[in-house]
Structure 1
Amino acid sequence: MAKAFSASRRHLLMTGSALLASGLMPRGAFAQTPIRVAGIYTVPVEQQWVSRIHLAAETAKAAGRVEYSYTENVSNTDYPRVMREYAEAGVQLIVGEIFGVEQEAREVAADYPDVAFLMGSSFLEDDSLPNLAVFDNYIQDASYLTGIIAGSLSSGNVGMVGGFPIPEVNRLMHAFMAGVREASPEAKFQVSFIGSWFDPPKAKETAFAMIEGGADMLYAERFGVSDAAQEKGVLAIGNVIDTQGDYPETVVVSALWHFEPTLDAAIAAVQSGAFKAANYGLYSYMKENGCSISALGTFEGKVSGETMALVAEREAAIRAGTFTVEVNDEEPKSS
C-alpha cells in the first residue's frame, strides 16, 4: 500500500478535472434497483462530520436509491471486523472514515474486490486497490468565506479550537484564517487542538481559556466551543453543520459540508459498474455544490453590506473558477 501513503495530497488539485472527465458520475443515471449501502462510523451519527454522511445516505434511502444500514461508535481496533461483517453480508458499497486505521482498512478492501469502499482518508487512492475510493471534506471555499465575515466582526483576536491537527482540519483552519485576514489584516489567532473528535467539555474549557486570553470570536471546529462563546457573550463561527438554531445570538454563520454530491457519484458508479479507485474529494468543492455558507439568519443586518458584497463577489469567483482558496494541510499555529 506504499503508493497510497506516499502520494502527494496536492495531486487532488491536478486530478479533479480528470475525475469528472472520466464519466465517474453520470448525473441522474441511477438504476431502479437500490443498492445496499452500509456506513461505519467511529463516533455518534450526531457528530458534525459524520452527520453529513449519514444525512446524505438517509436522503438517498428516502429517494429509493439505496438500502442503508450503519454502525456507529466503532473503535479503530474493531473497525476492520465491522468492515468484514458488512462485506460478508453482501453490502455493495461501504462508506466510512479510516483516518485512524488506514492500513488495516485497505487490507480488508483487498480481500473483498467485489465490494466498493468509499472511505474518508488522509491519503490518496491506490490504483492497485481498484475497489477503494477516498474522499474528504474539502470545504475550504466555505471556510474562507466565513472567515471574511468573522474578521469583519472581531476586534482582531480570534480563538480556534480543533480536534486533531490533521489535513482535514488544518486546511479548513488555514482557509478561515485567510478569510479573517481579508477583512482584518492584523488579526491574531489562538490555535489549540483537544486530541479528540468528540469531547465537548474539553473543547469548552479550551475555548474559555481563549476568551480569557482576549478572543472575541471563536472558530467552532468541535462541539462545545459555541457553548463557551454563548456563556461568555462572544461570537462563534460554525463548521460543517449549521448550529445557529441552538445558539441564535452566538453563531453568526457556518461553513456547511454537503456530502450528497460525493455519495451520489459513488452510487451511480456502483450501479453502472464503473466504480474504481479515485479521489472523490473534488465533490466537496463549492463549484460542485459540495459546500456552502449558511444564511445569516438572526445575524441578518448585523454584518455590513460591504462585507457581504465581498463575500458574494468571492463566492461567484470561486464558483466560476477565477478565484482559488489555497489548500494548506500544514498544522496552523497561534500568532
Structure 2
Amino acid sequence: MHSHRRPLLAGLALAALTTLLSPVALAQAKLKVAAVYTVPFEQQWVSRIHKALKAAEARGEIEYKASENVANADYERVLREYATAGNQLIVGEIFGVETAGRKVAKDFPKTSFLFGSSGKPQAPNMSVFDNYIQEPAYLTGMIAGGMTKSNKIGLVGGFPIPEVNRLMNAFMEGAKEVNPKVEFTVSFINSWFDPPKAKEAAFAMIDKGADVVYAERFGVSDAAKERKVLAIGNVINTQADYPDTVVASALWHMEPSIDRALKLVKEGKFAAEDYGVYSHMKHKGSSLAPLGTFEKKVPAELAAKVRAKEAAIYAGKFEVKVNDGQPKSSK
C-alpha cells in the first residue's frame, strides 16, 4: 500500500510544482495595477505617471490597465470597477474629484490607492503625491531671466492651484535672481488640456513684448515657435519638437514614487503617506533637462551660474521655497 502512495504523492508534488510554475500562476504573481486619468495619456502630467507604470509593466512586475479621458462624473464608477476587479494598486489624479476618490478608497480598505492630490493622505490605504518640481523650475527661471532681452516674460498656466502656482513662483524667483529688472505677465486658461486656448494666451503676451514664455501647458511653445521667441518647458522635455524654441525644461520623474509604491504593496506595507518628497531632485524625482540644442546659445556665464545653483540644491545647501500662492503679473 505504501509503495503505491509514494508515486502518487510524487505525482501530486510534481503537479503542484507544475501549477506553481505555469504561466497562469506566474502571471498571478504580478501585481495588478490600474490607473484612472481624467485627461489623455499624452497630457504632460499624466504622461509621467503612465510612463513609470509602463516601465514597471515592461519589466514584467505588474499587469497594468488604464483609462484615459475619464469625465469627472464617471470617475467614481471607473474607480469602483477597477477596485472590484481586484486591482491591488490604483493610481490617478483626483484634483476636482477629491470626494469621489476618497470615498472609493474608504470603501476598499484592502486596496492601495496612490492619488495626485492637493489634500492629505487618508488612512489606512490612500497615499498622495504631487509634482514638487519647484527646484528645476527655479533653475529654468534663472535661464529665462538671463535669456530675455526685453525683460518681459509671460507665463501661461492651467488652473491657479498649488501644483501650478508653486512651479510658477519658483520660476519667477529664479528669473529675478539673475535679472532683477524682469517683469512678468501671468495668465491661466482654466483647463488642463486646451492647446489652442494656451496658444492664444501666449500670443497676447508676445504682442506685449514678452520674448520668453513659460509653457506650463501645451500650446504655448507653438505660439513661441510661430513668433520666433523662446519657451521654457515644464514636466516633459519637448525640445526635440521645438529645437529652436524650447531652451530648457523642468522635468518630472514619477519612477521613484511609483517604484516605491509597488515595492510596499508587494511587501504588504503600503500605508497612507505623502509621496511629495520623492519628486525632489535628491530622490531623482525631478531634474533640469539638458540644454541640448541651446548648449552653445546660452551664455557660458549664465550656464555656470545655473550649474552652481543646481549643485547647491543637490548638496542641500540651497532650498527652493514652496510657495503655493497664486502668482501675479508685475505691476
> 1:283 and 2:278 equivalent?
yes
- Cα displacement string for residues 180-231 of structure 1 (whole angstroms, at most 9, x for unaligned residues): 1111111100000000000000000000000011100000000000000000
- Cα displacement string for residues 7-36 of structure 1 (whole angstroms, at most 9, x for unaligned residues): xxxxxxxxxxxxxxxxxxxxxxxxx93211
Q: Map 1:69-218 to 2 at 5 A.
A: 69-126=65-122, 129-155=123-149, 156-218=151-213
Q: Give SS of 1:275's match.
A: coil
> 1:272 and 2:237 equivalent?
no
CA distance in 1, matches of 2:137, 2:294: 18
> 1:314 and 2:303 equivalent?
no
Letter in 1 for 2:29: T
Q: Give SS of 2:256's match.
A: helix
Structure number, greater radius of gyration: 2
Structure 1 length-normalised TM: 0.89
Q: Give SS of 1:77's match.
A: helix
Give the deviation of 1:319 after TM superposition: 1.2
Letter in 2 for 1:159: G
- Cα displacement string for residues 134-169 of structure 1 (whole angstroms, at most 9, x for unaligned residues): 000000001001111111100210000000000000
Q: Which has the higher contact order (CA 8 A, sep 6+)?
A: 1
- Cα displacement string for residues 29-63 of structure 1 (whole angstroms, at most 9, x for unaligned residues): xxx93211111100000000000000000001111
Q: Which residue of 2 aligns with 1:250?
A: 245
Q: Give SS of 2:244's match.
A: coil
Give the deviation of 1:90 after TM superposition: 0.5
Q: Give SS of 2:166's match.
A: helix
CA distance in 1, matches of 2:30, 2:279: 24
- Cα displacement string for residues 279-302 of structure 1 (whole angstroms, at most 9, x for unaligned residues): 001100001100001111111111
Whose helix fraction is larger, Structure 1's or Structure 2's? 2
Q: Give SS of 2:263's match.
A: helix
Gap runs ≥5 in structure 2: 1-27
CA distance in 2, matches of 1:115, 1:143: 34
Q: Give SS of 1:45's match.
A: coil
List structure 1 segments (4+ residues) > 6 angstroms apart after TM superposition. Answer: none
Q: Which residue of 2 aligns with 1:11?
A: none
Give the deviation of 1:64 after TM superposition: 1.3
Gap runs ≥5 in structure 1: 1-31
CA distance in 2, matches of 1:281, 1:99: 15
- Cα displacement string for residues 44-95 of structure 1 (whole angstroms, at most 9, x for unaligned residues): 0000000000000000111111111100000111111111000000100000
CA distance in 2, matches of 1:159, 1:332: 12
CA distance in 2, matches of 1:64, 1:181: 46
Q: Which residue of 2 aligns with 1:8?
A: none
Letter in 2 for 1:99: F
